[in-house]
Amino acid sequence: MTPYLRKNLCENFCPHFRPSKKQDLACKGFLVVEALLRRDRKIFFEKICRDIDETTRGALIRNMCTTCPFYENDCDFVRKKEESSPCGGFMLLGALLGKNSISIDDIRDIV
């Protein structure tokens, strides 16, 4: 599942993904999506809207990002550095939350 997920999530949605990176991914968004797929959740990888409302954005930061190993020192998005983008997992989960395909409780159960 991981090569499939890497292809459909990381390569297509994540502005930080580089094929030369290590194969071990520690992105929390990736891990949450992978766990949802293992739980037989249907997730459709389609072009997503990058506009996530502030409520969803805040819920994801509080419930997912704070548990990510990159959160405190390495995440420019959370630190609000100029021109920084969230990880692909964040964008996909935000879109799924916006479409009511998943709930914040689904994410909390995993993290």
Give the pLDDT confidence score for residue 46 in this predicted structure. Answer: 67
Say what the pLDDT of residue 94 is. Answer: 86
Contacts of 56 (CB under 8 A, 6+ apart): 94, 97, 98
pTM score of the predicted model: 0.73
Q: What is the pLDDT of residue 6?
A: 77
**What one-letter code names the amino acid at 16?**
H
The pLDDT score that the predictor gives to residue 81 is 67
Residue-averaged pLDDT of the chain? 78
Domain boundaries, the chain: 2-44+52-110
pLDDT tens per residue across span 6-60? 777 777 777 777 666 655 556 788 888 889 888 988 877 765 666 788 888 888 8
Residue 69's contacts (CB-CB under 8 Å, 6 or more residues apart) are 26, 28
Kindly tell me if the per-residue pLDDT of 80 is higher than 60: yes
